[in-house]
Amino acid sequence: MATPEELHEAVVRIGRSNPQGRQAASKYLKLLDYSVLQKCIHCGMCLPTCPTYDETKLERNSPRGRIALMRRVADGQLEVTQAFGQELYFCLGCLTCETVCPAGVRYGEMFEHARADIEQAGVMRNPQRDLVRGLTLRWLFTRPQALRAVGRLLWFYQTSGLESLVRRLKLTALLPPRLRALEPLTPRAQRQFSNALIRTVETPADRKHRVAPSPAACRT
């Protein structure tokens, strides 16, 4: 099981990475209303709320750092590269930065256009990524029965003692580094899934009282 220090080091390595690879011009960011890209006033109020910046303390891993990158891509000063793609996928997309921004920056809108540029350019594509995305996004998540079967297997693995045994024997060391770092964060599967907890037909509760405004309130 990875220690907090090992998890932190893994996050920092991802945040510092600057891979080289395919590149292409922007297609979506350059069509975005430029006023959206200009709103950031670099006040820094978003920094304490950003989980990736909190881990790495690198400006490029902050909302305003990513906005600066997206603006340069929109201006044509930077290409859509693998490094740009990795930075935008390092972002969790939690949009906490939007809730504290005094300038009302629409980070989510820029973020979606940047991700679209990255996928359009194909700068992040590789056989391993294509296989994982094909199995999960295009197959597993589109088949509820298969998703429930995987959930039951995960629940059995976690509750039967197999998970504890695998960790005691340190078999997680056989996993790739990123999966090894993420393994302790695996969500706990429940015995019943949401589809079993939600009724097929939800009926409203019996109406007991009616509420109406008083005539005096209507006159005021």
Give 10-residue mean pLDDT values along the chain (220 residues). 58 56 84 91 92 90 92 90 90 93 94 94 89 90 89 92 92 87 86 71 67 59
The residue among 34, 122, 137 whose CA lies nearest residue 79 is 122
Q: What does pTM read for this prediction?
A: 0.68
Instruction: Say yes or no: 88 and 155 in one domain.
Output: no
Q: How far apart are CA 37 and CA 105, in angstroms?
A: 8
Alpha carbon 86 to its chain's center: 12
User: Domain limits at 152?
Assistant: 127-184
pLDDT value, residue 220: 52
71/8 same-domain check: yes
What pLDDT was estimated at residue 219?
55
Q: Does residue 200 lie within any of the structural domains? A: no
Q: What is residue 4's predicted lDDT score, i.e. its pLDDT? A: 63
The pLDDT of residue 178: 79
| Residue 89: per-residue pLDDT | 92
Please check whether residue 156 lies inside any domain of the structure: yes
pLDDT score at 94: 93
pLDDT value, residue 92: 92
Same domain, 115 and 132: no
Cα–Cα distance for residue pair 24/117, rounded to 1 Å: 9
Same domain for 158 and 142: yes
Residue 39 in tokens: 């709103």
Shared-domain flag, residues 148 and 111:
no
Alpha helices in 40-169 (DSSP H): 51-56, 63-74, 82-90, 96-100, 107-121, 127-133, 144-159, 162-168
Q: How far apart are CA 48 and CA 54, in angstroms?
A: 7
In a domain, 48, yes or no: yes
Closest of 189, 50, 218, 23 to residue 122, by C-alpha: 23
Which one of 71, 88, 121 terminates a domain? 121
CA dihedral of residues 162, 165, 169, 171 (deg, nearest 10): 20
